[in-house]
Amino acid sequence: MSSQHPDGSVFSNIVRAPEDPILGVTVAYNKDTSPIKLNLGVGAYRTEEGKPLVLNVVRRAEQLLVNDPSRVKEYLPIVGLAEFNKLSAKLIFGADSPAIQENRVTTVQGLSGTGSLRVGAEFLARHYYQHTIYIPVPTWGNHPKIFTIAGLSVKTYRYYDPETRGLDFKGLLEDLGAAPTGAIVLLHACAHNPTGVDPTLEQWEQIRQLMRSKGLLPFFDSAYQGFASGSLDADAQSVRMFVADGGECLAAQSYAKNMGLYGERVGALSIVCKAADVASRVESQLKLVIRPMYSNPPIHGASIVATILKDSDMYNEWTVELKAMADRIISMRQLLFDALRDRGTPRDWSHIIKQIGMFTFTGLNTEQVAFMTKEYHIYMTSDGRISMAGLSSRTVPHLADAIHAAVTRIP
């Protein structure tokens, strides 16, 4: 026995796993004792004072829930809170969506965006005839892991052009045009993570036509509805375009960013089908995916969302707070752009104000990022992605100095 397990543990053969590349940034930041340190790695909103924000409307909703003596802690059904599911589908597809009116949509509550993607991926791996999913290059680091572990084969399509720091639309169309019939395609509904580069509505229409002509199945990841532009409807236009043509698609939603419910893990997976009876059969199979995974979802976060979405006053208050978050991020983009221009920093930095959402893909290389961390105590992912939400008017000059030094000293 001892020869097999030299240190006495049956797990002695376990090797240490690498830190998660995104969450690892925060670990390194926390160890840094410098007073000027700045964390631009994490995808969470911060106030001008650099503090996490709980929306006033969320506090109000929680107070209502806490004060309601009829509320209990019983298990939810496998698919989650019915009211939450209904309101979530309306939020992304539109209140007047024919798909909803015709009962062609099935929606299940998920563990935020990640859990909703995972349930959708496992469902497809089990029941869809094509097991290949195309994801953009680059994409959120968790995407390939989620789809691979669920049993899908991950391929990529071109998306970002480092030369223009914009969309490689020609490459995107070529790659999707060459994809096998029926392949699944992951699409970021808005505020593409990590680049902040989105197709225009005209480009979305071309993508839709190409995908429908080839029978490709759209799987939308909607993590930033309302958070990108400040308008819930504008940020859902890409998804609604694909639903309007009567075709089928999947959509994963997260309330982490737009309601600031990060740690509550609140999300939804919707599958739009051709007919109501298909949607009902699909839901029956989604239950079989969820039950052995986590039985049923948590009640608190979904109740907060439902409380806000069903009350017109609270809903309006939410849209005002949501727009304020989006506007602050847009103003940080302008401040950073202006600061780099004022310093005469080499390169064109206009992509900072053209990109949208929480992140800016700066175009800085790994060496420049490492330099900024070492010399300026600024933490970000090694691909040069910075979270605009982590910036304030107080910290923009420090970041601009660091970027200026990095691009002038390190080619």
User: φ, ψ for residue 278 (rounded to 5)?
Assistant: -65, -45
Q: Are strands 184-188 and 217-222 parallel, antiparallel or unpaired?
A: parallel
257 is catalytic: yes
204 is catalytic: no
Question: Which residues, in sequence order, are bridge partners of residue 109?
Answer: 268
Q: How far is CA 304 from CA 22, 83, 199, 258, 318, in A?
A: 28, 11, 32, 13, 12
Q: How far is CA 346 from CA 342, 350, 399, in A?
A: 11, 12, 15
Per the residue annotation, which of 168, 175, 235, 257 is the catalytic one? 257
Per the residue annotation, which of 221, 235, 318, 401 is the catalytic one? 221
349 is catalytic: no
Per the residue annotation, which of 140, 198, 235, 349 is the catalytic one? 140
Cα–Cα distance for residue pair 81/293, rounded to 1 Å: 17
* Residues catalogued as catalytic: 140, 221, 257
